[in-house]
Amino acid sequence: MKEYKTVTEIAGPLVFVSDVSGVGYNEIVEIMTPDGEKRKGQVLDVGHNVAVVQVFGSTTGIGTEKTIVRFLGETMKLGLSPEMLGRVFNGLGEPRDKGPRIIPKEKIDITGLPINPYSRESPNEFIQTGVSTIDGTNTLVRGQKLPLFSGAGLPHNQLAVQIARQAKVLGTGEKFAVVFAAIGITHEEASFFMKDFEKTGALENAVLFLNLADDPSVERIITPRLALTTAEYLAYEQDMHVLTLITDMTNYCEALREISSARQEVPGRRGYPGYMYTDLSMIYERAGRVKGSKGSVTQIPVLTMPGDDKTHPIPDLTGYITEGQILLSRDIHRKNIYPPVDVLPSLSRLMNAGIGDEKTREDHKGVSDQLYAAYATGRDLRSLSAVVGEEALSATDRKYLQLADEFEKQFVQQGSYENREIEKTLSIGWDLLSILPEEELKRVKQKHIDRYLRKKE
Amino acid sequence: MAKKGRIVRISGPVVEAKLPDAKLYDVVHVGEAGLLGEIIKIVGDISVIQVYEDTSGLKPGEEAASTGEPLSVELGPGLLESIYDGIQRPLKVIEEKSQGAYIARGIVVNALDRKKKWDFKATAKKGDKIKAGDIIGTVQETELIEHRIMSPVEGKIESIKSGKYTIEDVVATVASHKGKKEQVKLYQKWFVRKSRPVIEKFPPNIPLVTGQRIIDTFFPIAKGGTACIPGPFGSGKTVTQQSLAKYSDTRIVVYIGCGERGNEMTEVLKEFPHLEDPNTGKPLMQRTVLIANTSNMPVAAREASIYTGVTIAEYFRDMGYDVALMADSTSRWAEAMREIGGRLEEMPGEEGYPAYLARRLAEFYERAGRVRCQSSRERYGSVSIIGAVSPPGGDLSEPVSQNTLRVTKVFLALDAPLAYRRHFPAINWLKSYSLYPDNLEDWFTKNVSSDFLDQVNTSMSLLQKEAELEEVVQLVGPDALPEKEQAILLITKMLREDFLQQNAFSDVDARCEMDKQYEMLKTILQFHEKTKDALDLGIQLKRIQELPEIGKIGRMKEMADVKDVKNLQKEIGSSFDSLSKG
């Protein structure tokens, strides 16, 4: 261990230490302020005898004199143990729930190594979330990363909790765990999650990492990595199926930008660093299944789109990495529909691998495609009828209009404690399709029409 | 010749080291872990190295050793069916060496298997005078592909023998003019950043038949041509690229997953060995080389992956094959350049991208082409490049899209609104273009039909007319249009839903042959002509709309036999006849 008292410059979250030797890149640092407070940090750049240290927490109280910097000679690691289940930690992985310290069985680097694409198993097991707009039209599968794109004031947290509560794989009794990472959310939001986990008994199978809004923003870089290291440990070492909820990724990216600007880096779009895509991918890509392990890591990151703008760099880069997105819409929310999922721009890229005969039901893909196409047509007609009036539409077009309305009321709308079986979701789908004349149903197979549509009459 | 030096600075993937005799682009092993890197800048005695692996824990003072050679790829039997990372390390061997699902650091592996024995059949004989690039023998690498061994040197063959060899064995010796004896092995090395020489480049005049109707009929790509597929996320770039990789009529496919999703690459890996080559029925993997550098794998290797891929493609081209190269996505490649440029503290150009972005993109696409291969005998091959572009927010005014559009000849515009309504492939027919139809006209006339391009033009003008009519409909509703124009909407709906839409997940529809494409289009246009005539005779549009043939046109896609489509044309003829009779 090496100690230095040679702090030469402090700028925002960065501390420059001179005359160092033998310091490694990404090494962990302990800083003692003159008042005896202890902070942690990480080496961002080292060379020409100067180390640039990024401090987790505030740099208040750190001075150029009397501050001691200790280089620990190892990169950031997290002590892991199955005992972590049921526990609450802060954003740096220290217990927050007054419980005892964790005695680690293993210490693992939190950055994580990239998974060899050759060693991955392709995700293809259907997860039933009990939410029709997900199960029916944007199916989630084990090992997928499917973010919720939301906006400020929309009920994304409620939906995230509902998914965590209801998610299950049909017909199996395997070990299941939730890892929850809160990044820069308010105390109020955090206690909403805690209460819900406690109330439903989910807490005993959950690990919580909380970095709240008033916690240092630099910690936010660490929190999701701690959560994912834990998730990987539980999945690949303990054979559990882990659902990882991360909220809110927008706060993470803000922290990234803050550090980047403190380092005086060349900014990319809207001031976010040019490496944000790579950085985000190192979080999102830690979802999946690997050969030789029964477990899986499924990720549901939540992000709030600044100004509800899907082309903002945060949702944009996320969408390029994740396997689809569930988009919440303010318009639908205003109609008092919960969950306010706008299915048209929503997408699950792995859906086709997880549905169909023996997984959900043979008609699933057809029903989903038909609902999509019909709802899209109905939505277009809605704006048309606003101009020309409903009477000017043809009889068939009026049916489409009716379908779009009913789709939102019956299919999208459900209670926050309503857990719909996939059979139920699909039969609502067929009810809606029965509004249309049969020859309009081009996306569903005739035999499925015979089997499922006629039954209704 | 290893030259050793010391590391002086580390900043993410960029490491500075004091190295004697350093040359630009030399490969360097960095630190105790022996991480692989490449010199990208030299200032005085300081070499700036971009490192292909995570640099955590690396310290100033650790050793850096230059190999004295630039980054190169190994070219020889064993390339096919392989899956490599961005710097041609086989991922399967990495898995064995890492002993787990993660890619450990500092792993050094050979790109080609050194132990496997190949059955070499000599086609040249002792005493033959050969030039560089001449084929001296063959190896049946997979059931599908014969690997042609080309001599990298010029001279007179002194010895050559058929037999079973590993790639390190000498299969022939060649006496060069200077009297030097050169040994020829089954493999050779080539620097990734340098394109392989050719005798001449020709304008492309044969289409790359992809089996995708909207591409082959409306926006054809030529063998040896370039195409770009830009689109926002979720619009189906990857599905389109994969369909092209699966169903194109090229002999070799090189697929580069550059900074994309891990699960997607896994899907390709799982799927390709089970897919059949449309012409031979053998597994598709036998003609494929995969390069997978996912988004979370080191960014410097992502930068190199494009060069690795295109060099392998050129090598197969030199054997006289048609090669298709898919790069998904070139935006991630450009971002890798930006990230490294930023670490080098270079003065940024537009949106933070380095000022040399346009040049690099142009250089990459210029490596495509239909060529006469370097050899003393006449031999032709081609590399077609199809690059995906991921513009931020789907906005094509950004630098990567703009610079790509300047150099590519086919533009397939993927469209989010089409994707939302599950119209796949979500290629917007009004925005896309291809500059090849003129070059390909002769081929179409000879191999499909002389009226093929006329049909295409007629359909295109109908679709353009539809866009105009839609604007009117938005204002006054469809019923206010005259029947003739309503009829156009009926036909364009057929064109969109029953021709342009194609189901990548259907056994029959995933690949559509040229003759079927032609007949399908002909059927729809015949329906159009008949409708026009019928309306002129005073028959109401409503009666035409009730014809059962409309539903049958919708099922043409699933007809496995072209005869059924032709029969439908007869049916349409007779039912219009009976309509006009009353």
For residues B298 and B408, membership in a common domain is answered with: yes
Domain boundaries, chain A: 2-71, 77-351, 364-452
Residue B57 has pLDDT above 90, yes or no: no
A46 touches chain B (CB under 8 A): yes
Query: Buried b vs exposed e over A271-296: b needs ≥16 C-beta within 10 Å?
Result: ebbbbbbbbbbbbbbbbbbbeebebb
For residues B460 and B419, membership in a common domain is answered with: no
User: What is the structure's pLDDT at B106?
Assistant: 83
pTM: 0.89
Helix-strand-coil percent breakdown of chain B, rounded to 5? 40, 25, 35
Q: Angle A118-A119-A122 (CA atoms, 0-180°, nearest 5)?
A: 85
For residues B319 and B218, membership in a common domain is answered with: yes
**What confidence tens digit (pLDDT) does each residue in B460-488 have?**
999 999 999 988 887 777 778 899 999 99
For residues B172 and B231, membership in a common domain is answered with: no
Kindly determine whether residue A281 and residue B100, on different chains, have CB atoms separated by under 8 Å. no
User: What is the structure's pLDDT at A457?
Assistant: 45
| CATH number of the domain encompassing residue B142 | 2.40.50.100
Give the number of beta-carbon pairs within 8 Å between A and B.
227
CATH level 3 topology of A2-71: Elongation Factor Tu (Ef-tu); domain 3 (2.40.30)
Q: How, if at all, do strands B288-293 and B433-434 pair?
A: unpaired
User: What is the structure's pLDDT at A172?
Assistant: 65
**Chain-centroid distance, C-alpha A352:** 21
For residues B168 and B58, membership in a common domain is answered with: no
Kindly determine whether residue A118 and residue B83, on different chains, have CB atoms separated by under 8 Å. yes
The number of folded domains in chain B is: 4
The whole-angstrom distance between A451's CA and the closest CA on chain B is 20
Whether the CB-CB separation of B73 and B87 falls below 8 Å is answered with no
For residues B307 and B408, membership in a common domain is answered with: yes
Q: How, if at all, do strands A324-327 and B72-75 pair?
A: unpaired
User: What is the structure's pLDDT at B25?
Assistant: 85
pLDDT band at B125 (very low <50, low <70, confident <90, very high): very high
Q: What is the ipTM of this complex?
A: 0.83
Kindly determine whether residue B477 and residue A384, on different chains, have CB atoms separated by under 8 Å. yes
Helix (H) or strand (E) holding A73: strand A68-75
Q: What is the mean pLDDT of chain B?
A: 91
Helix and strand totals (H; E) in chain B: 16, 26
Closest to B204 (Cα-Cα) out of B393, B370, B46: B370
The whole-angstrom distance between A441's CA and the closest CA on chain B is 11
Tell me which residue in A48, A113, A312 faces B103 most closely, judged by beta carbons. A113
CATH level 3 topology of A77-351: Rossmann fold (3.40.50)
Whether residue B348 lies inside any domain: the answer is yes
Closest to B469 (Cα-Cα) out of B484, B450, B447: B484
Whether the CB-CB separation of A112 and A75 falls below 8 Å is answered with no
**Which residues neighbour B143 within 8 Å (Cβ) at sequence distance 6 or greater?**
B280, B282, B286
The lowest-confidence range among A290-294, B356-360, B361-365, B474-478 is B474-478
What backbone torsions phi and psi does residue A338 show, to the nearest 5 degrees? -115, 140
With a pLDDT cut of 90, the percent of chain B lying above it is: 65
Q: What would the two tokens of residue A215 be?
A: 């916690």
Length in residues, chain A = 457
Residue B575, amino acid = S
Kindly determine whether residue B335 and residue A274, on different chains, have CB atoms separated by under 8 Å. yes
3-state secondary structure B348-373: ECHHHCECCHHHHHHHHHHCCEEEEE
Residue B457 has pLDDT above 70, yes or no: yes
Kindly determine whether residue B478 and residue A394, on different chains, have CB atoms separated by under 8 Å. yes
Rounded Cα–Cα distance for residues B238 and B260 (Å): 9
Best to test chain B binding among A44, A106, A113 (most B CBs inside 10 Å)? A113
Quick count: other Cβ atoms within 10 Å of Cβ B316?
A: 27
For residues B225 and B180, membership in a common domain is answered with: no
Rounded Cα–Cα distance for residues B567 and B580 (Å): 20
For residues B348 and B205, membership in a common domain is answered with: yes
Tell me which residue in A119, A265, A268 faces B101 most closely, judged by beta carbons. A119
Q: What would the two tokens of residue B469 be?
A: 């009519």
| Residue whose structure tokens are 């420059």 | A16
For residues B60 and B36, membership in a common domain is answered with: yes
Rounded Cα–Cα distance for residues B333 and B327 (Å): 9
- Indicate the residue among B70, B98, B126 that finishes a domain: B70
A267 touches chain B (CB under 8 A): yes
Whether residue B542 lies inside any domain: the answer is yes
* Longest distance between any two alpha carbons in chain B, whole Å: 95
Quick count: other Cβ atoms within 10 Å of Cβ B276?
A: 11
| CATH number of the domain encompassing residue B9 | 2.40.30.20
For residues B55 and B149, membership in a common domain is answered with: no
Helix and strand totals (H; E) in chain A: 13, 22
Quick count: other Cβ atoms within 10 Å of Cβ A266?
A: 16
pLDDT band at B1 (very low <50, low <70, confident <90, very high): low
Whether residue B100 lies inside any domain: the answer is no
| CATH number of the domain encompassing residue B272 | 3.40.50.300
Best to test chain B binding among A2, A23, A278 (most B CBs inside 10 Å)? A278
User: What is the structure's pLDDT at B326?
Assistant: 94
Best to test chain A binding among B97, B261, B302, B508 (most A CBs inside 10 Å)? B261
3-class SS of residue A322: coil
Per-residue tens of pLDDT for chain A, all 457 residues: 788 999 999 988 889 999 988 898 988 899 998 888 888 888 988 988 899 998 887 788 888 888 999 998 888 899 999 999 999 999 989 999 888 999 999 999 898 888 999 999 989 899 999 999 999 999 999 999 999 999 999 999 999 999 988 888 876 677 889 999 999 999 999 999 989 888 888 888 899 999 999 888 888 999 999 999 999 999 999 999 999 999 999 999 999 998 888 878 878 788 898 889 889 999 999 999 999 888 999 999 999 999 999 889 999 999 989 999 999 999 999 999 999 999 999 999 899 889 998 899 999 999 999 999 999 999 989 988 888 888 888 888 899 999 999 999 999 999 999 999 999 999 999 999 999 998 888 888 888 999 998 644 4
Rounded Cα–Cα distance for residues A319 and A325 (Å): 7
For residues B223 and B367, membership in a common domain is answered with: yes
For residues B341 and B225, membership in a common domain is answered with: yes
Kindly determine whether residue A392 and residue B422, on different chains, have CB atoms separated by under 8 Å. no
Instruction: Give me the residues of A, 338-357, that contact B with CB < 8 A.
Output: 344-345, 347, 349-350, 352-353
3-state secondary structure B163-210: EEECCCCEEEEEECCCCCEEEEECCEEEECCCCCCEEEEECCCCECCC
**What confidence tens digit (pLDDT) does each residue in B83-95 have?**
999 999 999 999 9
Domain holding B497, by residue range, is 452-581
Residue B438 has pLDDT above 70, yes or no: yes
